[in-house]
């Protein structure tokens, strides 16, 4: 089993936390509601929802809200993140979120789920962000 893989029970709990966060989405402009939940290695789950702004560019994705909350709470070691929407296609993290997740979480698991469809997909972060730029290039 790959290090980033979760048990079914862990995946269910993470998806549930992301779905609950999605209910709190502040998607005023797009109406595209996203929830994310990040699982720390100590078992703590930190969730986030997307928060939009009228100038659009200050909109923050659910994944980044969850990550920044977790870092601010002092968590530093992570295993996986779940991302939940209600779109017909499972929604993967955007490029900026992939980069920031790589920076602070390394090769975690990424679970994609949808409110109204049973199918899920699971990836490692490096499958979604191959050859990532990171601190080791800053020599
Ligand atoms: N969004 C996320 O929160 N996460 C994603 O993975 C993709 C996009 C948000 C940003 C914006 O509030 C809305 O979805 C539409 O792009």
Q: In what order do the strands lie in the sheet with 109-114?
A: 45-49, 35-40, 78-85, 109-114, 117-124
- Say how many domains are in the chain: 1
pLDDT at 1: 65
- Which structural domain range is residue 117 located in? 8-137
- The predicted structure's pLDDT at residue 139: 86
Catalytic residue set:
63
| Whole-structure pTM value | 0.96
Residue 64 lies in a domain: yes
Record the tokens describing residue 34, joined without a space: 């996203």
Instruction: Tell me if 102 is assigned to some domain.
Output: yes
How many Å lie between the centroid of ligand 1 and the Cα of residue 13? 22
Q: Is residue 25 part of a domain?
A: yes
Q: Look at residue 2 and tell me if it is in a domain.
A: no
* Residue ID of nearest Cα to ligand 1 atom 8: 61
User: What backbone torsions phi and psi does residue 47 show, to the nearest 5 degrees?
Assistant: -105, 165
- CATH number of the domain to which 124 belongs: 3.40.140.10
Per-residue pLDDT of the chain (139 residues; tens, 9 = 90+): 677 789 999 999 999 999 999 999 999 999 999 999 999 999 999 999 999 999 999 999 999 999 999 999 999 999 999 999 999 899 999 999 999 999 999 999 999 999 888 889 999 999 999 999 999 999 8
């Amino acid at each position: 089993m790959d290090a980033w893989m979760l048990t079914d029970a862990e995946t269910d709990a993470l998806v549930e936390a992301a779905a609950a966060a999605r209910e709190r989405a502040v998607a005023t402009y797009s109406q595209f509601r996203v929830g994310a939940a990040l699982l720390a290695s100590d078992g703590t789950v930190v969730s986030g929802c997307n928060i939009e702004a009228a100038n659009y560019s200050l909109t923050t994705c659910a994944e980044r809200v969850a990550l920044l909350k977790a870092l601010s709470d002092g968590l530093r070691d992570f295993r996986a993140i779940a991302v939940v929407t209600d779109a017909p296609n499972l929604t993967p993290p955007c490029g900026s979120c992939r980069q920031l997740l790589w920076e602070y979480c390394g090769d975690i698991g990424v679970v994609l789920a949808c409110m109204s469809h049973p199918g899920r997909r699971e990836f490692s972060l490096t499958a979604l962000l191959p050859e990532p730029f990171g601190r080791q290039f800053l020599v």
